[in-house]
Chains A and B, each alone.
Chain A
């Protein structure tokens, strides 16, 4: 019987005992390092770490629909915004804890994804059509949030500060958000790892690689893609809630901007689609590139130019992603 890992080249291969030990040690070192890191860096370093794990968790959630299920979704920012607006709105106007808002956001995002997914998958939107369809959804949401004053209109919803707030109000020093995003990232990595090894993941991989064949094997693509889409949306919402608390506002132009829509895809693709570590590595690289190029203020626009060039160069040099590269390298050395 095939296991998910044999069919799908993108998941973690069953390692030999020595490699497994190495992997575990590596993971423990990574987590330990991540926990300790903020103490070793200044504020700016912490801000960069927050950025890395924000993109890591956000992109990990996209990875579920984009990597494991192989559906190019450009609507992910919409579910992120749903999470952010749910918690901001209920806190500001109802005084509810953002934790309640987070749960609400997850619920609403899941329902929205179920509704949208039921329609688009039933109508068999694939490939670029699915991308444009999800992009349409995201754009419609952006315009609606901006023009309906009930949601705060274009000015959005400012989140009032509560000094001496209990932790349930999710208002912390920046390092607090770092740990939140870190926890979220680790949770999502675990989720992706489980998907890669499960029957669900195996079936998703078959659908991803060849949808017609999947049907003949008795797998139902619509239902699988829908589940992946809903899961992906539900994991995006908490990222939105925490980010809203980090910046203390929600606003349609920022949360549903073209950059938000596109940038969530980049870490997963650069790091390795459908892999557990891909989004994290991609997020680290993306953040570092953004920070480094922003130092190159030779002339207005030059940093952006350098960033654009970096985006062009990477897919050419590392086509399948960083993690597969590292994994293959380690595998070859191991022989």
Chain B
């Protein structure tokens, strides 16, 4: 079966499409890691929030993609509030304290979603629902849309960081911390911006994914491990690296499913991460140095 070129192509395409979304989640996590130096376990919860925004849209009779703009606006405000009230205090604390706090946030967010929507599985069908056939190759349309949108947002992030004034400010704060304030960069506002943008982008990733999957509150944990892995492979703090890391994880997963079995995919993805940690801990784009 593996000698069938259509099958192989299909597997690789599936891996690529999945990887694209992982890439976006990894990008936002790497920004938070690199800029706020925050080990954020709650990152998975942002994905789940996005998924349920889509579910909400469906229950109100709208196509889930329509939730993107309103969710982005509302969530920006809420994330900014979250930053100012809580996150700002946490980032100066040691890693382990951050871990406990973000786990608490993850738990509370998931629980809140359970309180509203219970644990019943939901679907968020959209006009893009369905599959596309390119010859003998099957491609899921929502996944394709999610991939394209994620790629767009991911590159948008990269461009923003590279070329805009605020992007520069974010990078300055990431690399030079307190010193950035010496050149009149408003530290707190910059950090808040980085946090809010990352959070919103992650939520949007969730909305994009919703039509392609069945939504339950336990989604948070699935993407957490993958995001960590992709960030490590792509170098902590490096946006393009995170995108590449996400793609690599997606392809590894797809190949494992085809060659070994779906039930082993976690083990192989983590084995890949472990190998990377040992062979090239600084990631694909890093310089060999202490973290």
Q: Footprint of B on A, CB under 8 Å?
A: 66, 72, 119-120, 123-129, 131-133, 135-137, 139-140, 142-144, 146-147, 212, 258, 262, 265-266, 269-270, 273, 299-305, 307-316, 319
B96 is contacted by which of A72, A140, A309 (Cβ under 8 Å)?
A: A72
Q: Does more than half of chain A's interface fall in helix, strand or loop, or is it mixed?
A: helix
The smallest beta-carbon distance between B33 and chain A, in angstroms, is 8
C-alpha gap A136/B99 in the complex (Å): 17
Q: Is B274 in contact with A315, judged by CB distance below 8 angstroms?
A: no
CB-CB nearest in chain B for A270: B100
Write out the residue numbers on chain B whose beta carbons fall within 8 Å of the beta carbon of A72: 95-96, 99
Task: Name A319's contact: one of B97, B106, B266 (CB within 8 Å).
Answer: B97
8 Å CB contacts to A: which residues of B105-158? Answer: 105-115, 118
Give 5 A-B contacts (CB < 8 Å), ordered by A residue. A128-B291, A131-B39, A265-B96, A305-B115, A308-B108
B271 surroundings in chain A (CB, below 8 A)? 136, 140
Kindly specify which of B13-21, B50-58, B86-94, B162-170 makes contact with the partner chain.
B86-94
- Is the CB of B277 closer than 8 A to any CB of chain A? yes
Give which listed residue, B39, B118, B274, contacts A136 with CB less than 8 A: B274
Bound: A129/B237 CA distance, A: 13
**B112–A305 touching, CB < 8 Å:** yes
Residue B290 lies at the interface, judged by CB distance under 8 Å to chain A: yes
* Chain B residue total in the interface (Cβ 8 A): 47
Closest to A268 in B: B96
The secondary structure that dominates the B interface is: helix
With A126-B290, A139-B267 as known contacts, state yes or no: A258 contacts B114, CB within 8 Å.
no
Q: How far is the CB of B132 from chain A (nearest CB, A)?
A: 32
In the complex, are the beta carbons of B115 and A301 less than 8 A apart?
Answer: yes
How distant is A266 from chain B, measured CB to nearest CB, in Å?
Answer: 6
Residues of A near B278 (CB, < 8 A) are: 119-120, 123, 125, 133
Decide if B27 is an interface residue (CB 8 Å cutoff): no
Give Cα A310 to B100, complex, Å: 10
A301 to B86, CA, bound (A): 22
- Residue of A with least CB distance to B116: A301
Closest CB in chain A relative to B73 CB, distance in Å: 25
The answer, yes or no, to whether B281 is at the interface (CB within 8 Å) is yes
Stretch at the interface among B176-184, B186-194, B225-233: B225-233
B290 in contact with A302 (CB, 8 Å): no
Distance in angstroms between the alpha carbons of A135 and B86 in the assembled complex: 27
Question: Are B291's CB and A139's CB within 8 A?
Answer: no
Q: What residues of chain B lie closer than 8 Å to A316, measured between beta carbons?
A: 86, 89-90, 101
- B217, closest chain A residue (CB): A301
Contacting pair A308 B291 (CB below 8 A): no
User: A127-B291, A140-B270 known; A311 and B100 CB under 8 Å?
Assistant: yes
Of the listed residues B89, B99, B106, B266, the one surrounded by the most CB atoms of chain A closer than 10 A to its CB is B99
Q: Does B264 contact A (CB under 8 A)?
A: yes
Asked if residues B104 and A310 are in contact (CB atoms below 8 Å), the reply is: yes
Is B236's CB within 8 Å of the partner chain A?
A: yes
A265 and B263 form a contact (CB under 8 A): no
Determine the distance from Cα of A310 to Cα of B111 in the docked complex, in whole angstroms: 13
On chain B, the residues within 8 Å of A123 by CB distance are 277-278, 281
Query: Which of A126, A132, A135, A137 has most B Cβ within 10 Å?
Result: A132
Interface residues of B in 269-291 (CB under 8 A from A): 270-271, 273-274, 277-278, 281, 290-291
B97 neighbours in A (Cβ, 8 Å)? 269, 315, 319
- B277 and A129 contact, CB distance less than 8 A: yes
Given contacts A120-B277, A265-B99, A307-B107, 5 further A-B contacts (CB under 8 A): A136-B274, A300-B115, A305-B108, A311-B104, A315-B98
What B residues does A131 contact at CB under 8 A? 39
Q: Are B290 and A265 in contact (CB under 8 A)?
A: no
What is the CA–CA distance of A125 and B95 in the complex, to the nearest angstrom? 15
- A216 to chain B minimum Cβ distance, whole angstroms, is 14
Q: What separation, in Å, do the CA atoms of A309 and B232 have in the docked complex?
A: 29
- The docked-state distance in angstroms from the alpha carbon of A317 to that of B39 is 19
Give CA–CA (A139, B111) in the complex, Å: 24
B220 to A, closest residue via Cβ: A258
Contact A143–B101 (Cβ < 8 Å): no
On whether A139 and B266 interact (CB within 8 A), knowing A265-B96, A304-B110, A310-B104, the answer reads yes
Interchain CB contact under 8 A, A302 and B115 = yes
CB-CB < 8 A to B86: which residues of A? Answer: 312, 316
Q: Give Cα A303–Cα B107 distance, bound, in whole angstroms.
A: 10
| Given contacts A126-B291, A300-B118, A316-B90, A308 and B104 within 8 Å (CB-CB) | yes
Contacts A129-B291, A262-B103, A300-B115 known; A315 to B263 CB distance under 8 Å? no
Whole-angstrom distance between the Cβ of B290 and the nearest chain A Cβ: 7
Contact A311 B107 (CB under 8 A): yes
